[in-house]
Amino acid sequence: MSIQDLIDDFAFLDDWEERYRYVIELGRDLEPLSAAEHSSENKVQGCVSQVWLVSEVRPGPDGAPRLHFRGDSDAHIVRGLIAILMRLYSGRTPAEILAAEPRAVFARLGLDEHLTPQRSNGLYSMVARIEADAKAHLAPAGP
């Protein structure tokens, strides 16, 4: 499912109670993390809920390295937000990740106006972590 599919799905839902339920459903489909991956190294700082993100580099169809993300949280709604972030970022090159405009996507989904300030801060902490992972995996510049 692409981000555009997600935006279309959100537009179809009548109210925010339905949208929250949908976000929670999205979180149920996350690939589980192992007990070892629920580590302090993978924990995202700045989230009220506990959040863990794992990034892996895999070659894309063109041979360029792409980052794949997996995540988990102890809060159902946050698991859904992680699922949205996976659709936005996972499978992209580091440059594509850094060029993404998450605030615009979150605005189109209505997340910016319907999340509590604590959830918004946590969401942007996850974005910052994903962007930091992308920066760490940028190919070094040639001579």
Note if 34 is an active site residue.
no
CA distance 7 to 136: 30
Burial of 33 (0-12, 13-18, 19+ CB in 10 A): middle
CA–CA distance from 15 to each of 4, 67, 113, 138 (Å)?
19, 34, 13, 40
Beta carbons within 10 angstroms of residue 69's beta carbon:
22
Among candidate residues 26, 47, 81, 134, the one labeled active-site is 47
Residues marked active site are found at 47
